[in-house]
Structure 1
Amino acid sequence: MTHRLFQLFGLLLVVQFGQSLSAQNPRDFLDQFCVDCHGGTAPEAGLDVSALRWVAPGLHDLDRWREARNRVIRGEMPPADETLPSSAERKGFVASIDALLARAAKTQAGEPGRVTLRRLSRFEYDRTTAARLGLVTEKSAAFPADNLGYGFDNMGDAMSFSLLHMETYLDAAEDLARRAISLEDPEHPPVWRIEGEEMSSQLEDAVGQGDVARLYSRGTVSAPVVLPRDGDYVITVRAFGDQAGDDPAKMALSLDRKRLQVWEVPERRASPGERVIRIRLPKGRHRLAVTFLNDFYEPEAEDPSQRDRNLYVDWVEVKGPTDPIPLPAAHRRIFAHDRPESPTRQRARKILPPLILDLWRRPARIGEVRRFTRFLVRETEKGRSFGEAMRDVLTALLVSPHFLFRVEPGARGRTRKVLPVGDYALASRLSYFLWSAPPDEVLLERARRRELGRVEVLLAEARRMLRDDRSEALARGFAGQWLETRNLEDATPDAKLFPRFDDALRKSMSREVELFFRFILKERRPIRALIESKTTFLDERLARHYGVQGIVGEDFQRHEWSHDRRRGLLGKAAILTLTSHASRTSPVKRGKWILENLMDAPPPPPPPGVVSRLDESQVTGTRSLREKLESHRAQPECASCHERMDGLGFALENFDAVGRWRDRDGRNAIDAKGELPGGREIDGVAELDAVLTEHDGLTRSLLHKLFLYGVGREAGPADRVQLAAAAGRLPGLDATLEDVVLAIVGLDAFRLRNTAP
Structure 2
Amino acid sequence: MNLMSPTFGHCRFRITFALFAATLGQSVNPTAVFAQQPPEQLTEFLELNCTYCHDADTREGDLDLDSLTLELAAPDNFHLWERVFDRIREGEMPPDEELDPAESKPFLAKLHGILDSADNHRITTEGRVPARRLTRTQYERNVCELLAIDVPLRSFLPEESLANGFDTVSSSQQLSDHSLAAYLDAADFALQTAFDQLLLNDASADDAIQTMHLDWTQLRRNERRTDREPEGRPDHKDIVSWSSSQNFYGRMPATSVPATGRYRVRVKAHSVNTPELGRVWCSVNSGVCSGKASTMYWIGSIEATEEIQVYEFDAWIREGHMLQIVPNDHGIRRVAAKAVDSKPGVVEKMGVPGIAIQWIELEPLADDREKIKESLIGDLKLRPIDAANRHRFKIVSPNPKRDLKRLIQTFAERAYRQDVEPSELEAFFEFAEAKRQSSRSMAEALRAGYRAILCSSRFLYFDESPGVLSDDALANRLSHFLWGRAPDEKLRQLAHAGKLHESEVLRSQTERLLNDTKSQAAIEEFTDQWLELYELNSTTPDGKLYPEYDLVLHQSLPDETHAFVAELIRENLPVTNLVDSDFTFLNERLARHYGINWPGGTDLKRISIDDDCRRGGIITHASVLKVTANGTTTSPIIRGVWMLEKIIGEHVPPPPANVPAVEPDIRGATSIRDQLDKHRNIDSCAACHVKIDPPGFALESYDVIGGWRESYRAVSPQNPKRWVSGLPIDSSHAFTSGEAFDDIEGLKSILAKRPDQLAKNMASQFVTYATGAAPTFADRDELQRIVQATQTDDYGVRSLIHEVVQSPLFQNK
Counterpart pick for 1:159 among 162, 173, 178? 173
Query: Could you tell me whether the CA contact under 8 Å between 1:538 and 1:559 is conserved in 2?
Result: yes
Q: Taking structure 2 as the reference length, what is the TM-score of the superposition?
A: 0.62
Query: Could you tell me whether the CA contact under 8 Å between 1:426 and 1:751 is conserved in 2?
Result: yes
Matched, 1:393 2:442: no
Counterpart pick for 1:485 among 506, 513, 533? 533
Structure 1 residues 490-514: Cα deviation after superposition (integer angstroms, max 9, x where no partner): 1222122123434543331122111
Structure 1 residues 658-701: Cα deviation after superposition (integer angstroms, max 9, x where no partner): 10112233154432212222443211111111121222221111
Matched, 1:749 2:805: no
Give the match for residue 542 of structure 1.
590
Counterpart pick for 2:622 among 570, 573, 582? 573
Alignment CA distance shift 1:742-1:110 (3 Å): farther
Unpaired runs of 5+ residues, structure 2, are 1-44, 55-59, 66-77, 208-257, 263-316, 321-365, 382-395, 713-724
Give the match for residue 333 of structure 1.
375
Counterpart pick for 2:581 among 510, 533, 536? 533
Query: Could you tell me whether the CA contact under 8 Å between 1:534 and 1:560 is conserved in 2?
Result: yes
The correspondence of residues 381-530 of structure 1 with structure 2, limited to 5 A, is 381-382=437-438, 384-408=440-464, 410=465, 419-530=467-578
- 1:569: Cα distance to partner? 0.7
Counterpart pick for 2:423 among 338, 363, 367? 367
Counterpart pick for 2:414 among 358, 366, 381? 358
Matched, 1:682 2:741: yes
CA–CA distance in 2 between the matches of 1:724 and 1:47?
31
Matched, 1:598 2:661: no
Query: Could you tell me whether the CA contact under 8 Å between 2:198 and 2:372 is conserved in 1?
Result: no
Alignment CA distance shift 1:421-1:554 (3 Å): same
Query: Could you tell me whether the CA contact under 8 Å between 2:646 and 2:761 is conserved in 1?
Result: yes
1:362 counterpart letter in structure 2: Q
Alignment CA distance shift 1:719-1:157 (3 Å): same
Give the match for residue 150 of structure 1.
164
Two-structure CA RMSD over aligned residues (Å): 4.4
Query: Could you tell me whether the CA contact under 8 Å between 2:412 and 2:453 is conserved in 1?
Result: yes
Segment drifting more, 715-724 vs 498-507: 498-507
Alignment CA distance shift 1:476-1:147 (3 Å): same
Query: Could you tell me whether the CA contact under 8 Å between 1:540 and 1:554 is conserved in 2?
Result: yes
CA–CA distance in 1 between the matches of 2:801 and 2:160?
24
- 1:372: Cα distance to partner? 4.3
Give me the identity figure in percent. Answer: 29
Three-state SS of the structure 1 residue aligned to 2:741 is strand
Three-state SS of the structure 2 residue aligned to 1:406 is coil
Give the match for residue 223 of structure 1.
none
2:689 counterpart letter in structure 1: H
- 1:328: Cα distance to partner? 5.2
Alignment CA distance shift 1:371-1:60 (3 Å): closer
1:601 counterpart letter in structure 2: E
Structure 1 residues 197-242: Cα deviation after superposition (integer angstroms, max 9, x where no partner): xxxxxxxxxxxxxxxxxxxxxxxxxxxxx99999xxxxxxxxxxxx
Query: Could you tell me whether the CA contact under 8 Å between 2:468 and 2:812 is conserved in 1?
Result: yes
CA–CA distance in 1 between the matches of 2:703 and 2:669?
11
- 1:521: Cα distance to partner? 0.3
2:801 counterpart letter in structure 1: V
Three-state SS of the structure 2 residue aligned to 1:652 is helix
Query: Could you tell me whether the CA contact under 8 Å between 1:137 and 1:175 is conserved in 2?
Result: no
- 1:632: Cα distance to partner? 0.9
Segment drifting more, 157-166 vs 344-353: 344-353
Alignment CA distance shift 1:70-1:659 (3 Å): farther
Query: Could you tell me whether the CA contact under 8 Å between 1:123 and 1:477 is conserved in 2?
Result: no
Structure 1 residues 290-317: Cα deviation after superposition (integer angstroms, max 9, x where no partner): xxxxxxxxxxxxxxxxxxxxxxxxxxxx
CA–CA distance in 1 between the matches of 2:553 and 2:681?
39
The correspondence of residues 3-402 of structure 1 with structure 2, limited to 5 A, is 67=86, 71=90, 111=123, 113-114=126-127, 115-181=129-195, 182-184=197-199, 327=369, 329-338=371-380, 340-382=396-438, 384-402=440-458
Query: Could you tell me whether the CA contact under 8 Å between 2:198 and 2:369 is conserved in 1?
Result: no
Query: Could you tell me whether the CA contact under 8 Å between 1:129 and 1:136 is conserved in 2?
Result: no
CA–CA distance in 2 between the matches of 1:165 and 1:42?
46
Segment drifting more, 133-142 vs 158-167: 133-142
CA–CA distance in 2 between the matches of 1:175 and 1:123?
16
CA–CA distance in 2 between the matches of 1:648 and 1:657?
16
Alignment CA distance shift 1:60-1:148 (3 Å): closer
Give the match for residue 275 of structure 1.
none
CA–CA distance in 2 between the matches of 1:155 and 1:689?
31
Query: Could you tell me whether the CA contact under 8 Å between 1:526 and 1:733 is conserved in 2?
Result: yes
Give the match for residue 800 of structure 2.
740
Three-state SS of the structure 1 residue aligned to 2:579 is helix
Give the match for residue 4 of structure 1.
none
1:576 counterpart letter in structure 2: L
- 1:596: Cα distance to partner? 0.8
Give the match for residue 674 of structure 2.
627
- 1:348: Cα distance to partner? 2.4
1:329 counterpart letter in structure 2: K
Q: Taking structure 1 as the reference length, what is the TM-score of the superposition?
A: 0.66
- 1:525: Cα distance to partner? 0.8
CA–CA distance in 2 between the matches of 1:699 and 1:743?
12
- 1:406: Cα distance to partner? 1.9
1:672 counterpart letter in structure 2: S
Query: Could you tell me whether the CA contact under 8 Å between 1:598 and 1:697 is conserved in 2?
Result: no
Counterpart pick for 1:639 among 686, 691, 697? 686
Query: Could you tell me whether the CA contact under 8 Å between 1:573 and 1:660 is conserved in 2?
Result: yes
Query: Could you tell me whether the CA contact under 8 Å between 1:427 and 1:444 is conserved in 2?
Result: yes
Three-state SS of the structure 2 residue aligned to 1:532 is coil
- 1:551: Cα distance to partner? 7.0
Alignment CA distance shift 1:443-1:139 (3 Å): closer
- 1:448: Cα distance to partner? 0.9
Query: Could you tell me whether the CA contact under 8 Å between 1:479 and 1:514 is conserved in 2?
Result: yes
Alignment CA distance shift 1:605-1:166 (3 Å): closer
Flag the structure with more relative contact order, 1 or 2, with Cα contacts below 8 A and sequence separation at least 6. Answer: 1
Structure 1 residues 95-115: Cα deviation after superposition (integer angstroms, max 9, x where no partner): x99xx99xx99x988945532
Alignment CA distance shift 1:592-1:733 (3 Å): farther
1:750 counterpart letter in structure 2: F
Alignment CA distance shift 1:78-1:362 (3 Å): same
2:680 counterpart letter in structure 1: R
Three-state SS of the structure 1 residue aligned to 2:661 is coil
Structure 1 residues 229-278: Cα deviation after superposition (integer angstroms, max 9, x where no partner): 99xxxxxxxxxxxxxxxxxxxxxxxxxxxxxxxxxxxxxxxxxxxxxxxx
CA–CA distance in 1 between the matches of 2:563 and 2:505?
29
Counterpart pick for 1:706 among 760, 766, 769? 766
CA–CA distance in 1 between the matches of 2:80 and 2:367?
68
Residue-pair matches, total: 570
Give the match for residue 672 of structure 1.
731
Structure 1 residues 416-453: Cα deviation after superposition (integer angstroms, max 9, x where no partner): xx532222122111211222111111111121112234
Structure 1 residues 153-181: Cα deviation after superposition (integer angstroms, max 9, x where no partner): 11112112122212222222122112223
The correspondence of residues 708-723 of structure 1 with structure 2, limited to 5 A, is 708-723=768-783
Query: Could you tell me whether the CA contact under 8 Å between 1:527 and 1:699 is conserved in 2?
Result: yes
